Amino acid sequence: MRATGATATLPVLGQIKLHEDVSARLAGARILSATVRFERGRWFVSFTVEQDVQRPRATRPGDVIGIDLGIKTLAVLSDGTEIPNPRHLGAALRKVRRAARTVSRRQGPDRRTGQRPSNRWRRASARLGGLHARVADVRTDSIHKLTTNVARTYAAVVIEDLNVAGMVKNRRLARSVADASFGEIRRQLAYKIEWHGGTLVVADRWFASSKTCSECGAVRAKLTLSERTYVCDVCAMTMDRDVNAALNLAQYGRNQLRIAASGAEIENGRGADRKTGPARQVAVKRQPGTAPAGQTGTVPSQDGTAA
């Protein structure tokens, strides 16, 4: 098995042309196996490789960043950076809804009556599947960019345990998409932050990141989703709602890390772990500065290389 430039040589198949030049990504890698699959009208080949990977330490090891994940925007960081939802997503979602309506007008299969789907239904639903896939690809790409940038920059990152804001009230589509992204962002942050020797702090699910004033610490009794600006009842501080929440998360993280540094056990959210499972892996694992310098070693790549 070999893969150089934009060609790969596989057993039985022989030499195949790839869409992408893999030289840079597979430099110094030993290919262990290749998996070929056909998906949404395209062929993909992914390689499992053995490769020495050098991952630099986070560039701003002293800073703690809080991330407020949202629905309107993908994320807002406590330094005020707003990461918008991917461009064109709105247009793509409109196309999805249109295609879904078309499918529903066609004669689909019915298990009860034994009705077979019409060819027009098959075509329409293949188109809908493709559009769904396109939306998913665009989201995946922007989520990877977000988590990579954050993990490369900050040694301490704080996020919420659950997307509480998203669960409160939203239209079904937006909500499910946001929920799925939230879990994926958290999963990616967990492993990428570990690559760069940082720490991911997951805030207690009861931590009122949105309702708390990041200036004086007062907690508002009520904050509706439509209030995009936080105005403090006590100190009159006025700030963008999401930036305020992100600042509170950053502060929460600093406190937790201080407790951890003093040797106390970090409490991780009243049994929240039991339900969410992988949460255990993202609880504070190590304190900044105690991780081994540079992550050198043989790491089997999990990222496939698409043809």
d(CA 190, CA 187): 5
Handedness of CA 82, 88, 90, 93 (dihedral sign): negative
Task: Decide if residue 240 touches Zn ion (CB under 5 A).
Answer: no
Point out the catalytic residue in the list 63, 141, 160, 233. Answer: 160
Task: Decide if residue 22 touches Zn ion (CB under 5 A).
Answer: no
Toward Zn ion, which CB reaches closer, 167 or 216?
216
Toward Zn ion, which CB reaches closer, 179 or 215?
215
Residues 6+ apart with CB under 8 A from 69: 75, 159, 160, 163, 166, 178, 181, 182, 185
Toward Zn ion, which CB reaches closer, 36 or 235?
235
E strands, 152-227, where? 154-159, 199-202
According to CB under 5 A, which one of 32, 136, 218, 264 is a site residue for Zn ion? 218
Point out the catalytic residue in the list 233, 242, 265, 267. Answer: 242
* Token digits of residue 23: 């030289």
**Residue 106 per-residue DSSP state:** S
d(CA 292, CA 128): 48
User: Would you call 110 a catalytic residue per the annotation?
Assistant: no
According to CB under 5 A, which one of 67, 232, 257, 279 is a site residue for Zn ion? 232
Task: Decide if residue 234 touches Zn ion (CB under 5 A).
Answer: yes
Task: Decide if residue 213 touches Zn ion (CB under 5 A).
Answer: yes
Q: For Zn ion, which stretch binds (CB under 5 A), given 12-20, 151-159, 203-211, 237-245? A: 237-245
Toward Zn ion, which CB reaches closer, 231 or 306?
231
Q: Which of 154, 164, 242, 244 is nearest to 195 (CA)?
A: 154
Point out the catalytic residue in the list 68, 215, 227, 273. Answer: 68
User: Would you call 141 a catalytic residue per the annotation?
Assistant: no
User: Would you call 160 a catalytic residue per the annotation?
Assistant: yes
Active site residues: 68, 160, 242
